[in-house]
Amino acid sequence: MPEGHTLHRLARLHQRRFAGAPVAVSSPQGRFADSAAAVDGRVLRRTSAWGKHLFHHYSGGGIVHVHLGLYGAFTEWERPAADPLPAPVGQVRMRMVGAAFGSDLRGPTVCEVIDESQVAEVVARLGPDPLRRDADPSWAWARIMKSRRPIGALLMDQTVMAGVGNVYRSELLFRHRIDPYRAGQQITEAEFAAAWTDLVALMKVGLRRGKIIAVFPEHDHGAPSYRPDRPRTYVYRRAGDPCRLCGTTVRTAEMEGRNLFWCPTCQS
């Protein structure tokens, strides 16, 4: 599942490519057709992201709200100099066509047109997003310090903190030597503050580079990644492999429906 930095990158890309001009919005697949008609041909005023939610704000007040979920993805394309436009491939829920670029959205969990008050309702359910300037970490800390739930689950709870997915969760806890099973109320304020600061920095790198980079150069000895085209990680998807620091076998277990990865020696 895409993590928060991916949505912020999309918001920036769509802002650069489409904002300030009318956008033809359609639903080649049909499922979004009625809603698309409400913003079709309107000027895209701006884009925004909060956690894993993306918003396209159009003139006239309509806002396209997208959550990619597990399988959703945008395909970005350059508009050919002469028509016709490329034929939609597969189930394209939403197609955006601007003067020079196009974008096709497939497989999202949410794709709807809402208004500002509904955006406020979506955002009210979300915790602070480390990539937003207005993020207030004290909100997340207030939830964590009182909770008996394991910190590994709290970090993934979008109402506690928005935008963190499994990779950032696993890697952040390793970087701070925190056992993912430790209860929120057993985390010290200093640990939380250090982890939040680190998370903001890590996610900014992800936003800039378009990939998650969590391993310090001094620990990056060229051991293979979990997939050839993916960055190296300390523990994420390295179950059964030796810990990069201590050699202990990295473990995995399911926590609240998602696979957790950790080093039982470094994070004890």
Interaction pattern, residues 237-256, with Zn ion; x per rule: CB under 5 A: ------x-xx-x--------
Task: Please give the Cα distance from 135 to 112 (Å, whole number).
Answer: 25
**3 has catalytic annotation:** yes
For residue 211, indicate whether it is catalytic.
Answer: no
Residue at shortest CB range from Zn ion: 243
Q: Quick one: which of 67, 74, 70 has its CA closest to 111?
A: 67
Give the shortest CB-126-to-Zn ion separation in angstroms.
33
CA pair distance 159, 34, nearest whole angstrom: 30
Which CB atom, from 66 or from 266, has the smaller least distance to Zn ion?
Answer: 266
CA pair distance 95, 112, nearest whole angstrom: 13
The question of whether 52 is a catalytic residue gets the answer yes
* Cα(104)–Cα(119) distance, integer angstroms: 22
Coarse DSSP helix, strand, coil percentages of the chain, rounded to the nearest 5 percent: 30, 20, 50
Nearer to Zn ion, 93 or 175 (CB): 175
Question: Catalytic residue among 9, 52, 95, 232, which?
Answer: 52
Closer Cβ to Zn ion, 75 or 265, answer by number: 265
Q: By CB under 5 A, is residue 265 in contact with Zn ion? A: yes
80 is catalytic: no
Smallest separation (angstroms) from Zn ion to the CB of 188: 21
Structure tokens at 199: 């998370």
CA 197 vs. chain centroid, Å, equals 18
Q: Which residues bind Zn ion (CB under 5 A)?
A: 243, 245-246, 248, 263, 265-266
What residues are annotated to the active site? 2-3, 52, 258
